[in-house]
Every structure is written in C-alpha cells, then in structure tokens.
Amino acid sequence: MFGKTTKLLCGLIGTILLCIFVIGLAQSISSGFAGFKGGLPFWVIILFVLALAIYDFYEECILGKTWNKNGER
C-alpha cells in the first residue's frame, strides 16, 4: 500500500515519539511520589513494551514482513 521509504520514515518517527513519551512518563513517575522502588515495576513493563515496538518496527519496516488477509505472512 505504501512505499518502502514512506513506511520506513513514518515507522521511525512513530517509534521515536512513542519511546520519548513513554520514557518521559516513566521518569516522571519514578522521580515523583512513587520513588524509584515504586516506579521500578513500571520501568520493567515500559522496557518490555518498547522492545516489542522496536522489534515490530524492524520486522515490518526494515524486513518488509506483513500479514495478509488470511493471517499468514
């Protein structure tokens, strides 16, 4: 549907914005009332979610693997 360059650029911008937002949110929670120990579970979840987002960007935009209508690659 989109060209490879368009998918790469939009995916990169979206992934970077997601990372900035989520890391900023985690940092503000950890430095606020919750403290480091209270914010640690949130950091673990955030790092896992960011790893999934970066892997999805790599798989779809760089490798070019997409799903078809039947749920197959």
Whole-structure pTM over 0.75, yes or no? yes
Residues 6+ apart with CB under 8 A from 23: 46, 50
Residue 24 three-state SS: helix
Domain ranges of the chain: 4-62
72 against 61, higher pLDDT: 61
Convert the pLDDT of each residue in 25-66 to its tens digit.
999 988 887 787 888 899 999 999 999 999 999 998 888 877
